[in-house]
Amino acid sequence: MSENAFSVVIGGGGVSGLTAAYRLLKAGKNANGRPVKVTLIETRNRLGGNVRTERTGGFVIDGGPDAWVTAKPHASALAKELGLGDRLIGTTPENRRVLVLDRGRVHPFPEGMLLTVPTQVWPFLKTRLLSPVGKARAGFDLILPRKSTPDDESIASFVRRRFGSEVLQKIGAPLLGGVFAGDVEKLSMRATFPQLVELEKNTAASS
């Protein structure tokens, strides 16, 4: 490698780190025409980050993220670019539901949930996933003032502020945190679910 090579160090061999390395190596040179040297650092003995697949007893078990939203086409496009297009498996329509284990019982998510926002009143009221107090607290979202500052906040902060701690624990954390396989207390709301931030902002503007 030439001494004039442009060196890049990437911390973490998850999907983002691997994609960044792939893009840099594919480009070959930086904007100034210098060749690129990529060093990827990973503390674990495998690549893939939170993506983990176990095979045991004839079953394939995903221990981390197992899907992506096709409405955002970048992941699908990358898979096809890497020659994995014929291995993509779509979801089965009749199995498109979310179940939550709570106090030893499995509960389906209330119908009409848009991320953490209920769009249908009756399914939300009759769900056994939330207590009457939790449902009542979530209803305060209709009268609570909207966030007035542009500062970012965590997913947990947003859901707790709008809908209460019970909705955060039983709906927000498993659903929103599960999408990114991360801690809702640390995940940025603007980076992960900007549509909810805009929904609150637009509701405030129209009220």
| Residue 103 structural domain | 97-206
The yes-or-no verdict on residue 1 having pLDDT over 60 is no
Same-domain check for residues 41 and 120:
no
The yes-or-no verdict on residue 9 having pLDDT over 90 is yes
Alpha-carbon distance of 124 to 113, in angstroms, equals 8
Specify the pLDDT at position 204: 52
Domains in the chain: how many in total? 2
Range scoring the smallest mean pLDDT among 11-20, 42-51, 138-147, 175-184:
175-184
HSE toward the beta carbon, residue 6, CA cutoff 13 A:
12
Residue 122 lies in a domain: yes
Same-domain check for residues 46 and 127:
no
Residue 135 lies in a domain: yes
Same-domain check for residues 123 and 179:
yes
Specify the pLDDT at position 40: 95
Residue 9 lies in a domain: yes
Percent of the chain past pLDDT 90, that is, above it, reads: 39
Alpha-carbon distance of 204 to 197, in angstroms, equals 11
Same-domain check for residues 113 and 194:
yes
Residue 177 lies in a domain: yes
Residue 56 lies in a domain: no
Amino acid letter, residue 30: N
The yes-or-no verdict on residue 4 having pLDDT over 90 is no
Alpha-carbon distance of 161 to 140, in angstroms, equals 10
Q: How confident is the model at residue 31 (pLDDT cuts 50, 70, 90)?
A: low
Same-domain check for residues 40 and 128:
no
Q: How confident is the model at residue 30 (pLDDT cuts 50, 70, 90)?
A: low
Specify the pLDDT at position 42: 95
Residue 67 lies in a domain: no
Residue 103 lies in a domain: yes
Tell me the pTM: 0.61
Residue 81 lies in a domain: no
CATH code for the domain in which residue 133 is found: 1.10.3110.10
Position with higher pLDDT, 190 vs 64: 190
Whether the Cβ atoms of residue 37 and residue 5 lie closer than 8 Å to each other: yes
Specify the pLDDT at position 205: 47
Question: Average pLDDT of 184-192?
Answer: 92
Whether the Cβ atoms of residue 44 and residue 80 lie closer than 8 Å to each other: no
The yes-or-no verdict on residue 96 having pLDDT over 80 is no
Specify the pLDDT at position 199: 83
Over the stretch 116-133, which tens digit does the pLDDT of each residue have?
888 888 988 899 999 999
